[in-house]
């Protein structure tokens, strides 16, 4: 896997040595004892990403299967073109690594790179799947990956950086983007004061992608979930609203019906690079 990664300082390929990855110019990046490699450069440190508490909440919610239909749709979109070839997939902003793992399970010859800017995410991703490696990096500083080496890139509720994704995909590669629609978790927004989805999000994504990518498919994955109070607390705690309403949320949560029907609604868009 190291052979696919590029030095974040000089862009040369990296090679694995004992407990580090090194480039030909002598830049060296330690493999943490938790199993991930840190390719963060000094300039990246302002981005911290999700907290350990957000990741715990997300892992608990995902393990109940509430987002399994989304994971299956993302996996189908990215592994369809790969078939049984031994290709590599990358998830940007991988978080718990749930979506990458589901895709790797669906294509047994593939391997994966889980990239996230948050240390607690990189730690989790290092043990998320036997065929996945975890990289700590800031996607906005460029992807630490060599040109044209990946068959698929996933971004699920996560940053995108289309120019960098176009650079690292091979000619037949696919970029799968999953983003919430305005109906996603709509029943919780008012009662819990959650952050709303920008109604213009889909148009903004399409615009940012259009020069570099051609859309080949899009599906809305929408279904009702039956959530108990613990699951509602997890879904709030794992998202952008976790940074706000931390204290205020409990009494409002207790006032909700249990179980509560909540809509999951996500647009899964598949793109191929324009050549």
Ligand X SMILES: C[S@@+](CC[C@H](N)C(=O)[O-])C[C@H]1O[C@@H](n2cnc3c(N)ncnc32)[C@H](O)[C@@H]1O
Closest approach, Cβ 220 to ligand X, in A, equals 17
Applying CB under 6 A, does 116 fall inside the site for ligand X?
yes
Closest approach, Cβ 180 to ligand X, in A, equals 10
Closest approach, Cβ 41 to Zn ion, in A, equals 10
Contacts of 154 (CB under 8 A, 6+ apart): 74, 78, 89, 90, 91, 92, 99, 100, 103, 176, 178
The closest residue (CB) to ligand X is: 49
How many residues at the interface with Zn ion, by CB under 5 A? 6
Q: Which residue among 2, 9, 72, 218 contacts Zn ion (CB under 5 A)?
A: 9
Nearest to 39 by CA among 12, 57, 76: 12
Applying CB under 5 A, does 40 fall inside the site for Zn ion?
no
Q: Which residue among 4, 8, 50, 169 contacts ligand X (CB under 6 A)?
A: 50
Applying CB under 5 A, does 27 fall inside the site for Zn ion?
yes
Closest approach, Cβ 239 to ligand X, in A, equals 6
Cα–Cα distance, 162 to 215 (Å, whole number): 13
Q: Please report, in angstroms and rounded to a whole number, the separation of the first and last CA atoms in the chain.
A: 26
Cα–Cα distance, 116 to 48 (Å, whole number): 9
Applying CB under 6 A, does 93 fall inside the site for ligand X?
yes
Closest approach, Cβ 116 to Zn ion, in A, equals 21
Applying CB under 5 A, does 22 fall inside the site for Zn ion?
no
Contacts of 146 (CB under 8 A, 6+ apart): 3, 4, 5, 6, 13, 168
Please return the burial class of 45, using the count of CB atoms within 10 Å of its CB with bins 0-12, 13-18 and 19+.
Answer: exposed
Cα–Cα distance, 78 to 103 (Å, whole number): 7
Q: Which residue among 126, 139, 145, 264 contacts ligand X (CB under 6 A)?
A: 139
Applying CB under 5 A, does 25 fall inside the site for Zn ion?
yes
Residue 4 DSSP symbol: G
Q: H or E segment at 135?
A: strand 132-136
How many residues at the interface with ligand X, by CB under 6 A? 22
Q: Which residue among 1, 2, 32, 47 contacts ligand X (CB under 6 A)?
A: 47
Give the count of beta carbons closer than 10 Å to the beta carbon of residue 17: 11
Point out which residues bind ligand X (CB under 6 A).
Answer: 47, 49-50, 58, 93-96, 98-99, 115-118, 121, 138-140, 156-159
Point out which residues bind Zn ion (CB under 5 A).
Answer: 7, 9-10, 23, 25, 27
């Amino acid at each position: 896997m190291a052979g696919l990664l590029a030095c974040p300082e000089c862009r040369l390929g990296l090679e694995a040595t004992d407990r580090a990855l090194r480039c030909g110019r002598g830049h060296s990046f330690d493999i943490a004892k938790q199993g991930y490699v840190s390719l963060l450069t000094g300039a990246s440190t302002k981005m911290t990403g999700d907290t350990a508490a957000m990741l715990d909440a997300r892992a608990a919610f995902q393990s109940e299967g509430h987002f399994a239909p989304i994971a299956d749709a993302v996996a189908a979109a990215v592994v369809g073109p790969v078939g049984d070839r031994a290709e590599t997939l990358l998830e940007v902003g991988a978080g718990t690594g749930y979506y990458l793992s589901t895709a790797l399970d669906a294509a047994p010859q593939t391997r994966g790179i889980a990239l996230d800017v948050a240390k607690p995410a990189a730690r989790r991703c290092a043990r998320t799947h036997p065929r996945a490696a975890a990289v700590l990096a800031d996607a906005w500083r460029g992807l630490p990956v060599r040109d044209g080496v990946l068959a698929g890139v996933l971004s699920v509720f996560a940053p995108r950086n289309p120019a960098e994704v176009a650079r690292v995909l091979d000619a037949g590669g696919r970029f799968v983007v999953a983003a919430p629609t305005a109906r996603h978790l709509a029943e919780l927004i008012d009662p819990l004061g959650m952050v709303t989805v920008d109604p213009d999000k889909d148009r903004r994504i399409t615009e940012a992608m259009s020069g570099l990518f051609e859309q080949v498919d899009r599906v809305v994955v929408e279904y009702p979930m039956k959530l108990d109070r613990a699951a509602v607390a997890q879904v709030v705690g794992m998202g952008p609203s976790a940074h706000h309403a931390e204290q205020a949320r409990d009494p409002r949560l207790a006032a909700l019906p249990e179980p509560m029907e909540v809509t999951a609604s996500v647009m899964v868009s598949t793109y191929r690079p324009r050549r």
